Chains A and B, each alone.
Chain A
Amino acid sequence: MAVHTTYRTCPRSGLQFEDQAEKLIKINAVTAIVALLVGGLLAIGVVLTRWPAVHWLPADTFYMVLTAHGLDMLIYWMIFFEVAVLYFAASTLLRCRIATPGIAWLGYALMLAGAVINNIAVFRGDSSVMMTSYVPMMAHWSFYLGLIVFAVGALVACGVFFGTLVVAKREKTYEGSVPLVTFGAITAAIIAVFTLLSGAIILIPTFLMSVGVLKNVDPLVYRVIWWALGHSSQQINVATHISIWYAVAAIAFGAKPMSERVSRGAFLLYILFLQLASAHHILADPGVSTEWKIVNTSYFMYFAVLASMIHALSIPGAMEVAQRARGFNKGLFEWLRKAPWGNPVFSSVFISLVGFGFLGGISGVMMGTEQLNLLIHNTIYVPGHFHATVVVGSTLTFMGLTYFLIPVLFRREIISPDLARIQPYFFGFAMYFFCLVMMGAGTLGVSRRHWDMAFSGHALAYEWPGAAYLMMGLVGIGGVVAIIGGALFVYIVLGSLLFGKKLDTGAVSPHFTPVQRAAPTIAAQTYGSAGFVAPGTFVLAMVFLLAFVLYYFVNWKYLSQLWGLS
């Protein structure tokens, strides 16, 4: 089939971009960064209000700003960027033209329209229902309509992604199986379809209720199905950012996966089990049985946890093997010391990987344990956890990939490379601190989504312990520093796109060059110790496990001191 398009070979990376795909990746990524900018501005309002000594915004504005912050960050920043990653993984990595570019643009238009409609609904002020919008609390009908239109657009984008895979197979743009990164993107897209359909199942009736067609949506049914949207959407993020970790390991080190079977098997576990992790949002609810809670959160969730633990070993392990092969073979950690720490693409990913595991992973499993959930349900521990997964995990990874894409995709030189070198450290470590103190405050019981922890003027006001105020003050400080780190990123990216030195385009051809397979590995091991190819990574993994085990049992100890409940 003759399709008129051109393929550009990037002289810096060797990647081949098809003309339409390139434009679509750019527009989706830029829109995502605009959403990040809006969400970041809103974060100022959230942080400065929750900092008790500042307590900036009035209550109604605070709840509105918090609703918009959640939506713009968790939905629009993430999903626009993920669509860009999907198109990259299908079209660029497989050197294939994008399927039905017209429909892809329609999908983008729907997503943009939905995001705008939804944001307008929130900023009107009558839809401050938080991202979760639990019925029977109702928002303006256009709030739900915006979300539904956005979800349809995102489903269209997933369809274009799958279509591109079919075209690539048919036109034989690659040999054998798809690359691991594309495989990870496929799992993300499959989870996305499940997620968006769950969203449709619950948001369409809620929309009908908001316009008066339906009388009632059951509040508990809403919570169960909404979380099949709410949590699974985080699994799209996880599958995407882990795919990017593999990609960056390949780009920065030329690392190859230790075992394609293990890494791909772990992605498959995500599809099979991660959606069910949404049940852990219902652990403190009435109406669902203990058996249901345990089966969904342990048996099913732990297979997903297992998958994450496998990736957490395989990715640094692959980096270690690649570094050792280059001769950085001294002791346990020379490979790590000699890593390209000044390259923001790598440093973002490594800070993200460590923080996602230690802060996000361990706290997530603690929260997802049926009885331990009693300690932290709806406390500020919860946003502490998900800022460690979504911000340290996904956002920081997406930032790292953006640093790679600025010269490669946007053909611009990065302005102020020195700033770009420190930005991942600045933002990443500020976020680590922010997450830790939020979890600290949550352990002391401080509520999430709460305007005034002092209960000013209330006859029955509760006096939080001084430590809780201290923690919330630190949340304020850490939050402000993290916002500055985020602002640096937006400045570097938008500055580079607008004012960065233009780089050469590279050869443009009307035909693609098929991708070659990776060269086969020589199986013999020439380095490592005790039969382990990556002993340093294994030691790090054992440190992680030790922290995990200790923290897990400390919380059981804490639980055992509570009132008897049965």
Chain B
Amino acid sequence: MSAILPPSERLWWKHPLDRLEATWIIIAFVWCMIMFFMMVFWHVYGKQNLATETYKTNPALFMSQTQAFVDKWTVRTETDQKIPVVAPPEGADIYLIARLWSWWPILELEKGKTYKLHLTAMDYNHGFSLQPTNINIQVVPGYEHVIKITPNESGTFSIVCNEYCGIGHHEMVSRLYVK
């Protein structure tokens, strides 16, 4: 019953290390190092790394930037709410607002082209969840997150809010088109 009794030797840190534990510690340590280098490796060679370019913003400022973007590139509107569908050119700065309880506007992108997505929340925390691709990013109010995205497949995608944002949380869903 020695785990619940004081150890026989007072200086427990001098207790010998047996071969079993020593071997396992070495294996486990090597595996932890592999996992560590995998993250760094992916930053150098991988294509999916979340950018951390961030600016402080506020709802009024971000709204005016998004409005200008929408005015410039809207191609049509959808649903009864007349949500603009915006088709920006390659390399453009594109804006997406998360607010209670909608995403605005709808983006229409092209496969294989790269865009600079500016993302923020106007009120509470929201969660950008692109489905069925399954890319998930936290959207924090007051912070404008700039991410370069390159769609690699065409089709109709959905953006689901996956951070709880109040009673209408489950109604917060939108589209994203890739041609």
The stretch that binds B, out of A75-83, A207-215, A295-303, A426-434, is A295-303
Query: Could you say which residues of chain A place their CB within 8 Å of the CB of B40?
Result: 294
Please determine whether A532 and B20 come into contact, CB atoms closer than 8 angstroms.
yes
Interface presence of A510 (CB below 8 A): no
Query: In the complex where A251-B1, A288-B52 touch, is A563 in contact with B140 (Cβ < 8 A)?
Result: no
A residues 442-479 near B (Cβ < 8 Å) are 443-445, 447-453, 455, 458-462, 464-465
Please determine whether B25 and A286 come into contact, CB atoms closer than 8 angstroms.
no
Interface presence of B163 (CB below 8 A): yes
Please determine whether B4 and A460 come into contact, CB atoms closer than 8 angstroms.
no
* A111-127 Cβ-contact flags toward B at 8 Å (1 or 0): 00000000000000000
Please determine whether A520 and B13 come into contact, CB atoms closer than 8 angstroms.
no
In the complex, A309→B125 CA distance in Å?
35
In the complex, A566→B140 CA distance in Å?
19
Query: In the complex where A377-B137, A565-B147 touch, is A310 in contact with B8 (Cβ < 8 A)?
Result: no
Minimum C-beta distance from A166 to chain B (A)? 16
Interface presence of A516 (CB below 8 A): yes
Contact of A93 among B4, B143, B158 (CB under 8 A): B4
A residues 316-330 near B (Cβ < 8 Å) are 317-318
* B110-152 Cβ-contact flags toward A at 8 Å (1 or 0): 0000100001000111010111111111101111110111111
Interface presence of A102 (CB below 8 A): no
Query: Could you say which residues of chain B place their CB within 8 Å of the CB of A106?
Result: none
Please determine whether A137 and B162 come into contact, CB atoms closer than 8 angstroms.
no
Query: Could you say which residues of chain B place their CB within 8 Å of the CB of A137?
Result: 124-125, 165-166
The stretch that binds A, out of B31-39, B61-69, B91-99, is B31-39
* A377-407 Cβ-contact flags toward B at 8 Å (1 or 0): 1110000000000000000000000000000
Contact of B13 among A134, A261, A290, A549 (CB under 8 A): A261
Q: What is the chain B residue whose CB lies nearest that of A320?
A: B20
Interface residue SS majority, chain B: mixed
Please determine whether A537 and B173 come into contact, CB atoms closer than 8 angstroms.
no
Please determine whether B28 and A218 come into contact, CB atoms closer than 8 angstroms.
no
Interface presence of B60 (CB below 8 A): no
Interface residues in A, total, Cβ within 8 A: 118
Please determine whether B15 and A260 come into contact, CB atoms closer than 8 angstroms.
yes
Interface presence of A486 (CB below 8 A): no
Minimum C-beta distance from B36 to chain A (A)? 4
The stretch that binds B, out of A145-153, A173-181, A492-500, is A173-181
In the complex, A247→B2 CA distance in Å?
9
Query: Could you say which residues of chain A place their CB within 8 Å of the CB of B135?
Result: 374-375, 562-563, 565
Please determine whether A371 and B145 come into contact, CB atoms closer than 8 angstroms.
no
* A528-566 Cβ-contact flags toward B at 8 Å (1 or 0): 000111100110010001001100100010011111111
In the complex, A451→B160 CA distance in Å?
13
Please determine whether A258 and B8 come into contact, CB atoms closer than 8 angstroms.
no
Query: Could you say which residues of chain A place their CB within 8 Å of the CB of B32?
Result: 302-303, 305-306
Please determine whether B136 and A377 come into contact, CB atoms closer than 8 angstroms.
yes
Minimum C-beta distance from B167 to chain A (A)? 6
A residues 215-269 near B (Cβ < 8 Å) are 218-220, 223, 246-247, 249-251, 254-262, 264-265
Minimum C-beta distance from A311 to chain B (A)? 11
Query: Could you say which residues of chain B place their CB within 8 Å of the CB of A462?
Result: 131, 158, 160, 173
Query: In the complex where A220-B143, A261-B15, A562-B135 touch, is A515 in contact with B52 (Cβ < 8 A)?
Result: no
Query: Could you say which residues of chain A place their CB within 8 Å of the CB of B134?
Result: 375, 379, 443-445, 562
Please determine whether B48 and A460 come into contact, CB atoms closer than 8 angstroms.
no
Please determine whether B31 and A548 come into contact, CB atoms closer than 8 angstroms.
yes
Please determine whether B3 and A565 come into contact, CB atoms closer than 8 angstroms.
no
Q: What is the chain B residue whose CB lies nearest that of A294?
A: B39
B residues 42-64 near A (Cβ < 8 Å) are 42-43, 46-52, 54
* B1-26 Cβ-contact flags toward A at 8 Å (1 or 0): 11111111110111111111101110
Query: In the complex where A219-B142, A259-B16, A286-B52 touch, is A378 in contact with B136 (Cβ < 8 A)?
Result: yes
Contact of A258 among B21, B129, B169 (CB under 8 A): B21
In the complex, A423→B12 CA distance in Å?
38
Query: In the complex where A458-B173, A517-B8, A538-B20 touch, is A284 in contact with B137 (Cβ < 8 A)?
Result: yes
Interface presence of B76 (CB below 8 A): no
Minimum C-beta distance from A207 to chain B (A)? 18
Minimum C-beta distance from B117 to chain A (A)? 9
Minimum C-beta distance from A76 to chain B (A)? 21
Contact of A445 among B78, B132, B147, B161 (CB under 8 A): B132
In the complex, A170→B4 CA distance in Å?
20
In the complex, A259→B142 CA distance in Å?
51
Query: In the complex where A134-B125, A371-B46 touch, is A310 in contact with B28 (Cβ < 8 A)?
Result: yes
Interface presence of B71 (CB below 8 A): no
Please determine whether A445 and B131 come into contact, CB atoms closer than 8 angstroms.
yes
In the complex, A283→B15 CA distance in Å?
39
Please determine whether B16 and A523 come into contact, CB atoms closer than 8 angstroms.
yes
Interface presence of A285 (CB below 8 A): yes
Please determine whether B171 and A455 come into contact, CB atoms closer than 8 angstroms.
yes
Query: In the complex where A93-B4, A289-B52, A371-B50 touch, is A314 in contact with B21 (Cβ < 8 A)?
Result: yes
In the complex, A452→B160 CA distance in Å?
11
Contact of B20 among A177, A537, A561 (CB under 8 A): A537
Query: Could you say which residues of chain B place their CB within 8 Å of the CB of A288?
Result: 52
Please determine whether A563 and B149 come into contact, CB atoms closer than 8 angstroms.
yes
Task: Write 19 A-B pairs (CB below 8 A) sorted by A numbering.
Answer: A59-B170, A177-B7, A180-B3, A250-B1, A286-B138, A286-B140, A288-B52, A313-B20, A317-B20, A371-B46, A377-B127, A378-B129, A449-B163, A465-B132, A517-B8, A520-B8, A532-B20, A562-B133, A565-B48
Chain A to chain B: the 4 pairs with minimum beta-carbon distance, closest first: A564-B150, A286-B145, A518-B2, A462-B158
Q: B: which residues have CB within 8 A of A?
A: 1-10, 12-21, 23-25, 27-29, 31-33, 35-36, 38-40, 42-43, 46-52, 54, 78-81, 114, 119, 123-125, 127, 129-138, 140-145, 147-153, 158, 160-167, 169-171, 173-175
Q: Taking A282-B138, A462-B160, A562-B133 as given, write out 7 further A-B residue pairs in contact, using a Cβ cutoff of 8 Å, ordered by the A residue number.
A: A136-B141, A256-B1, A258-B21, A369-B38, A374-B135, A521-B8, A532-B23
